[in-house]
Structure 1
Amino acid sequence: MMSLAQVTRLILFVLLQAGSLSYAERPNIVVILADDLGYSDLGCYGGEISTPNIDALANAGVRMTQVYNSARCCPSRASLMTGLYPTQAGIGDFTTSQPSPDRGPGYQGRLRDDCATIAEVLKPAGYNCYYVGKWHMHHETGPIKRGFDEFYGYTFDHSHDQYDAEYYERLPADRVKEIDASADDFYATDVFNDYAIEFIKQGQKSEKPWLLFLGHSSPHFPVQAPAERADKYDEVYRRGWDILREERFERMQKLGLVDGDHWKLSPRSIVPVDKSAIANGFSGEPNPAWDSLEEDRQLDLARRMAIFAAMVEGVDNGVGQLVSHLKSTGDLDNTLILFLSDNGACYEWGPFGFDGQSRRGETTLRTGDKIREIGQRGTHQSYGSVWANLGNTPFRLYKHFTHEGGISTPFIAHWPKGIGKPNKWVRDPAHLMDILPTLIDAAEATYPQELKGNRITPLEGKSLLPAFMGESLPDRTIGFDHQAAHAIRQGDWKAVYAKRMPHELKWELYNLAEDRCEMNDLAEKDPERVKKMTADWDAWARRVGVIWKPQDNVRSLKTDSPQIANRMLRLEQTVESQSPNGVALAHGGNQHGYALHFINGKPAFDIRINGKVKRLLAEDPVSGTITLTATLSTDTMTLSVDGGDSISQPSHGLIPVQPIDDLSIGLDERTSAGDYKSPNPFNGVVLRHALHATNPEQQR
């Protein structure tokens, strides 16, 4: 016998297929995206910040516990907007005005022509489409160019001063700003909320269904909010992050989010390895205990977090205004509202944050009356890595990383007419790329095969409507990559690779059904599973363009990776190029490895140990058919060209561990083994290569 949810879904499906749903019957859609909001910052996810309006949506809808993002603002936005992985949408790591063709089409730094946005899919289905706030998918592929009818916000950069009224623009360019916010009173979060209501009103007048995408820049740094809004939080945060993390975890248990003993509150996270000034002197060390800090530092940091909380409350106030308007106009019940965050809370840079536009580690300590200047006009501050660790309670790490603290997002769905008012937790794994398929499912839309003369990449995401209505989602593989942080999720299992940590970097393995907070690494106990999952990650990465081989100008040779840990090396390679550039051979990555490559025609041999590179560089450029021979011993590294005299220098010793990244021929497929930016493909042909790794004991 079918459940009520299944019957409802079947009826909806039949109506959609028959094309019998009228404009009035199809839902209006609101997608609200917060920026750098942590997993537990909302009240309905355990936080102490006042978010009654968002909480009310959660209590009358569904909350998901395992929705993933892509670890950073713009890749996540690209994935959400297109239903694809970030590389398939063209923004594999960040937007850029100078994309590198060597990295392939996944790293254009802007939306690709072979993807379709939410607006480009819903407009042909009769929807008016509006966008408010932060775009961050490159201004040359801006919201109007990619299908939205109206826009207010900003299309350049990842963040901006909340008080700078002139910076924010109304598009199309011939539009006159409807909201009259004077420069003295302007605060971007409030104006975004006002424009959300303005565009909803425009949609309601059209008598068509409408989509509003509200992409807040809050609470991304610079943390800024009117001082009086933050005052009520001062005493809350002067209690410190250690107490507040424990209290959040307790509330998460009471709310039913934490369901059983497979959740454990993780210790304070490590501060990522970086320059001492940027890491506030804590590079590679655990974040400090609150009680270890002097009172002046505590007061400064408490105010930063109070400003952050006021920003979140500003987002919540806008949700309240939006819901109130929909109620008063009779549209709330048939409006699908989704609320989520784009990545985990942001650690930049160390426990004390930064203070200044350059973000190079300035940690101005404000005392006395100057504390109240934090977050005001013209300031540019972050709140630091330990408050971010609070935001991601109970998980490890932060934005930029693919551990749970970096890629887990709060996710709320509210649609009384479509899914009822279930007030329940949904525990199926999902991803931001599932949002577009969900909207297609709800809105009687059709995903295009072609758009503006371009073949469109098939959807990667899956509709979440079945999960909203009580059905289980099928198991699938979900891959992750962000600037040398990798992960793959298969069922309950997750393999994850970190970056910028003080310990040896390697693939870790977790059973999330037993260990959601990634406290018990099972990699050594189950090496075969690690081997299979990392091979699956590699296959996924090649399929979606994380790893890209420019086949038109490089012919590479397949080979196995030799065991090189604590071995002497001899490399021989013959290549052909009239003006050689790029990587001819690379093995390893940004911690340990070696590479033979060319710089403006000059042969180079790089050895990387513990992240540091030593290089031999030939004096003269070469061309034609070239044979390189390079060696590494316990005390010397050498390089010779075409059998000539070797150049040499002292080495740092042998490479101490087997690299994670495999051997690449003709380019560096993963993180950079040498001092260059991967993949840095070779512009010629590799004719032959030979590698010999010898135990030093055998030479005695």
Structure 2
Amino acid sequence: MLSRRPFAAAGARGRSRHLSREVRYRLGRGPHRAAEAPAGPGPGARDHRAAPAGPGVSTWSALSAEEQKLFARYMEVYAGLITNTDRNIGRLLAALDTLGVRDNTMIVLMSDNGGSAEGTQTGTPNVFAAAFGRPVPVPEAARLYDVMGEDQTFPHYPIGWACASNTPFRLYKQYAHLGGVADPLVIAWPKGIAAKGEIRSRFVHVIDLYPTILEAIGVERPATYRGRKLKPLEGASAAATFKSDSAPTRSEQYFELGGQRAYMDGNWRAVIRHERGTPFEGDRWELYDLSREVNEITDLADQQPEKVAALAAKWQAAAERYGVFPMDDRNLIIKLSQDRLRRGTKTHFDMRAPMDRLSAHVSPQVGGYSHEIIVDLVRRPGAGDGVLFACGSRHAGFVMHIRQGRLVYEQSMTPWVERIEPAEALPDGPLRLRYVQTMTARPFEGGGALFLGERKLAERTFANVLLSTSYDGFSLGADLGNRVSTLYEGHNPFQGELVRVQFNIDSTPFDLIESKRFIDRIGIRV
């Protein structure tokens, strides 16, 4: 159970104090500290300043009282989640102890990137809303204060907390600065690692983990698999660091994500902060000396042009070797959506129960499209309610169900619900039900109608058509994910006989104007 209570006071003290505490902790104890560099002013001193706040970060004092209260709650939820994760790792360790296998179990704990700025400047109670073109205003989000972090929400803290969480590093996820790519790595293996609680001040990249594990367990990777030659490993084992804090690891590495680039060579780090939509050729390399600072504040590029040129050449060579080109600097949400459109969307689905839940990746993609859903079923007397199909969750999803004998269709995107619920009850026996969605200005403007056979039961013009769904996938005859509707509890399986469900989708690709409508509405800009 996630609890926010222990963190309420800490959140209320504000971002500035949290950031200061993070600076002291991470620079004083973090694995990236440069032991050879003394603290304090003077030659060779380490820089203890916090990196400048990124774009979109306001000072705590500039926030309104409502914003401070809400923003503090977002961090309380995050802290509660981390604590809950920690406790459950403890439960896992206890179970391994009970089974008598903990000593010979290797546990690897890491993060996938730095703190995320995808919560936008004001945070969100539902990250899908910001991603899918309907950011939640602060007053609307504040109404969810008491349930933030519970099942009703899918929150993400504001950019300012990402800045604090990444201290002392600069910027955040989706950047090549250390705030985006410097991650914790903890490895525990009592039988294989004699050291207890020691810190290794060595660089390890995620591609090194696979060869490290192979060496640790004494497995040699085959050269071929099922008769096909395997690609050579690009990482290198760091298993030697298990025994020695002086064992060498890789000293060079390139980085690239969405046009953001970096190259690290020993203590030297060259990095580019690319602005989306601008020519890559106009980007400027920055240069930092990590033996002096890890916060990437003092740009030495103008003082050391030869070093910049050398690192830029190394980055270019690595990019050519590892298939980086052509670079793509589109917003990730835009890229995923446009790539889906380019591949094409399946226009017809024909399903029969019983059927396993479908992954979100292969579920019917109806968001923003005109489409028809046809449901053939049999309602038994006194047993004709339940979910006919559901896709996604209340955070971003759609569902058709029968409640107290009446047909209901809903699109949900917390905190909003678009619902069509005719007053007329359905008869028993064999029925053909239809939902028809008609778009008037794709992908957000349109409405839907419910039919019994060819007779229209009810219709509604939506304030905002659902663009896409959450990760929960598609289920037939029950809602097997995080439920889409609050009108029922649990899976709510259909009580009658679900004969057949068909989707007919007009997935004509978006034109330029429709694509621009989508791009203009996206709330996540990093």
For Structure 1 versus Structure 2, the TM-score category normalised by the shorter chain is 0.5 to 0.7
Match status 1:325 vs 2:95: yes
Query: SS where residue 412 of structure 1 aligns?
Result: strand
AA partner of residue 267 (structure 2): D
Query: SS where residue 116 of structure 2 aligns?
Result: coil
Match status 1:508 vs 2:286: yes
CA contact (8 A) 1:355 1:364 kept: no
The structural deviation recorded for 1:500 is 3.2
AA partner of residue 324 (structure 2): V
Structure-2 separation of matches of 1:450 and 1:244: 51
The structural deviation recorded for 1:429 is 1.1
The structural deviation recorded for 1:427 is 0.9
* C-alpha distance 367-538 of structure 1, shift in aligned 2 (>3 A): closer
Query: SS where residue 416 of structure 1 aligns?
Result: coil
* C-alpha distance 340-452 of structure 1, shift in aligned 2 (>3 A): same
The structural deviation recorded for 1:367 is 7.5
AA partner of residue 500 (structure 1): E
The structural deviation recorded for 1:419 is 1.4
* C-alpha distance 458-323 of structure 1, shift in aligned 2 (>3 A): same
Structure-2 separation of matches of 1:391 and 1:233: 15
Structure-1 separation of matches of 2:293 and 2:28: 19
AA partner of residue 305 (structure 2): P
Encode CA deviations 1:349-395: one digit per residue, 9 max, x unaligned.
43312344331443333577641122222423311111111111111
Match status 1:297 vs 2:67: yes
Query: SS where residue 274 of structure 2 aligns?
Result: coil
Structure-2 separation of matches of 1:256 and 1:290: 26
The structural deviation recorded for 1:318 is 1.5
Among 340, 343, 359, which residue is 2:110 paired with? Answer: 340
Structure-2 separation of matches of 1:419 and 1:245: 34
Structure-2 separation of matches of 1:469 and 1:538: 35
CA contact (8 A) 2:71 2:122 kept: yes
Counterpart of 2:155? 381
Structure-2 separation of matches of 1:441 and 1:266: 39
CA contact (8 A) 1:495 1:530 kept: yes
AA partner of residue 342 (structure 1): D
Encode CA deviations 1:585-628: one digit per residue, 9 max, x unaligned.
xxx999xxxxxxxxxxxxxxxxxxxxxxxxxxxxxxxxxxxxxx
CA contact (8 A) 2:124 2:158 kept: yes
Structure-1 separation of matches of 2:271 and 2:90: 38
Among 245, 256, 268, which residue is 1:493 paired with? Answer: 268
Match status 1:484 vs 2:259: yes
TM-score by length of 2: 0.55
Counterpart of 2:428? none
CA contact (8 A) 1:296 1:367 kept: no
Counterpart of 1:233? 7
Counterpart of 2:217? 443
The structural deviation recorded for 1:546 is 0.4
AA partner of residue 269 (structure 1): A
Within 5 Å, give how 1:84-233 maps onto structure 2: 226=2, 229-233=3-7
Match status 1:358 vs 2:136: no
Structure 2's unaligned 5+ residue stretches are 40-45, 331-526
* C-alpha distance 368-429 of structure 1, shift in aligned 2 (>3 A): closer
Structure-1 separation of matches of 2:314 and 2:30: 34
Quote the RMSD (CA, aligned, Å): 2.6
* C-alpha distance 482-502 of structure 1, shift in aligned 2 (>3 A): closer
Counterpart of 2:321? 543
Among 307, 322, 326, which residue is 1:529 paired with? Answer: 307
Structure-2 separation of matches of 1:383 and 1:372: 15
TM-score by length of 1: 0.42
* C-alpha distance 313-270 of structure 1, shift in aligned 2 (>3 A): same
Match status 1:312 vs 2:82: yes
Counterpart of 2:193? 419
Match status 1:249 vs 2:23: yes
Structure-2 separation of matches of 1:234 and 1:337: 31
Structure-2 separation of matches of 1:337 and 1:494: 30
AA partner of residue 254 (structure 2): G
* C-alpha distance 476-457 of structure 1, shift in aligned 2 (>3 A): farther
Structure 1's unaligned 5+ residue stretches are 1-224, 272-281, 550-587, 591-700
Segments ≥4 residues shifted beyond 4 Å: 256-260, 366-369, 501-505
Encode CA deviations 1:137-185: one digit per residue, 9 max, x unaligned.
xxxxxxxxxxxxxxxxxxxxxxxxxxxxxxxxxxxxxxxxxxxxxxxxx
Match status 1:398 vs 2:172: yes
Structure-2 separation of matches of 1:589 and 1:381: 26
Structure-2 separation of matches of 1:358 and 1:330: 46
AA partner of residue 318 (structure 2): W
* C-alpha distance 299-501 of structure 1, shift in aligned 2 (>3 A): farther
* C-alpha distance 517-365 of structure 1, shift in aligned 2 (>3 A): same
The structural deviation recorded for 1:256 is 6.1
The structural deviation recorded for 1:531 is 1.1
Within 5 Å, give how 1:45-84 maps onto structure 2: none
* C-alpha distance 451-435 of structure 1, shift in aligned 2 (>3 A): same
Structure-2 separation of matches of 1:474 and 1:530: 23
Among 238, 242, 253, which residue is 1:468 paired with? Answer: 242
* C-alpha distance 511-374 of structure 1, shift in aligned 2 (>3 A): same
Structure-1 separation of matches of 2:10 and 2:140: 19
The structural deviation recorded for 1:516 is 1.4
Structure-2 separation of matches of 1:390 and 1:502: 28
Encode CA deviations 1:535-569: one digit per residue, 9 max, x unaligned.
111110010000269xxxxxxxxxxxxxxxxxxxx
Query: SS where residue 333 of structure 1 aligns?
Result: helix
AA partner of residue 17 (structure 2): I
Counterpart of 1:269? 53
The structural deviation recorded for 1:518 is 0.7
Encode CA deviations 1:46-92: one digit per residue, 9 max, x unaligned.
xxxxxxxxxxxxxxxxxxxxxxxxxxxxxxxxxxxxxxxxxxxxxxx
* C-alpha distance 343-474 of structure 1, shift in aligned 2 (>3 A): closer
The structural deviation recorded for 1:505 is 4.2
CA contact (8 A) 1:353 1:363 kept: no
CA contact (8 A) 2:272 2:285 kept: yes
Structure-2 separation of matches of 1:367 and 1:532: 49
Query: SS where residue 394 of structure 1 aligns?
Result: coil
Structure-2 separation of matches of 1:407 and 1:539: 21
AA partner of residue 489 (structure 1): M
Structure-2 separation of matches of 1:296 and 1:499: 34
Structure-2 separation of matches of 1:492 and 1:267: 18
CA contact (8 A) 1:345 1:398 kept: yes
Moved more, 421-430 or 357-366: 357-366
Structure-2 separation of matches of 1:482 and 1:369: 36
* C-alpha distance 532-268 of structure 1, shift in aligned 2 (>3 A): closer
AA partner of residue 112 (structure 2): D
Counterpart of 1:409? 183
* C-alpha distance 368-487 of structure 1, shift in aligned 2 (>3 A): closer
Structure-2 separation of matches of 1:401 and 1:256: 21
Structure-2 separation of matches of 1:546 and 1:516: 26
Structure-2 separation of matches of 1:296 and 1:404: 32
Structure-2 separation of matches of 1:485 and 1:238: 34
Encode CA deviations 1:628-652: one digit per residue, 9 max, x unaligned.
xxxxxxxxxxxxxxxxxxxxxxxxx
